[in-house]
Amino acid sequence: MAFSSLEIDAHEVQGLAETFKRAEREAPLAIVRAIKRTGDMSKVRVVRALTKQTGLKRDVIVRAVKAKPAGMSYSLHSRGGNVHLKYFKARPTKKGVSAAPWNKRRIFAGTFIAHASGGGSMFGGQVFKRTGASRLPIEAQRSGLHIPKEMISGATAAEFLAAVRTILPVRLQHELARILGGAG
């Protein structure tokens, strides 16, 4: 008579139990790492989208958008008011200054860029408009665009949410696989 058996030896699973104990200890840190990496990657996407959406140069957007990682959360903040026209590639024309807020070039009638007597630009290329009948007073012109408002609307907000939806699960899986020793 033939006899056969299947047997489970607890010593073979002991290593797996140790791996799960380590995973339980290190999981919060893995989640924090995944959130930070996802946040950093989404900031790059937000800066790219905000640059296209506003018409501002990338370095202006990079200075305006700040990342704040804090443990299990990551937030992007920006501040600023009504942006001056000079930041939108302003250039003088016969009818006024041409600038491109929201990446749409148009002419702002009756405006000018003050020039120094040597041919250089005074006031750093600021766009002005006369507020009275004589030469003075003049007033610096603004675009009506606010970076904080633009950051939470349109393509920029959609890009941030899409980045979080696609990147975070992959990063979390990657970090947990590191804890489990490459399994995953």
Same domain membership, residue 90 and residue 73: no
Give residue 56's pLDDT.
96
Domain that holds residue 109: 84-144
Over range 78-102, report the average pLDDT: 93
Asked if residue 75 is part of any domain, the answer here is yes
Mean pLDDT lowest among 19-28, 33-42, 146-155, 167-176: 19-28
Distance of CA 133 to the CA centre of its chain: 44
Same domain membership, residue 73 and residue 56: yes
Res. 35 pLDDT band, cuts 50 70 90: very high
Asked if residue 184 is part of any domain, the answer here is no
How buried is residue 135: exposed, middle or buried, by Cβ count under 10 Å (0-12/13-18/19+)?
Answer: exposed
Same domain membership, residue 155 and residue 134: no
The stretches of 55-153 forming alpha helices (DSSP H) are: 58-64, 147-151
Mean pLDDT lowest among 17-21, 82-86, 101-105: 17-21
Give residue 23's pLDDT.
76
Give residue 162's pLDDT.
94
How many structural domains are present in the chain?
A: 2
Give residue 184's pLDDT.
47
Distance CA 104, CA 108 (A): 12
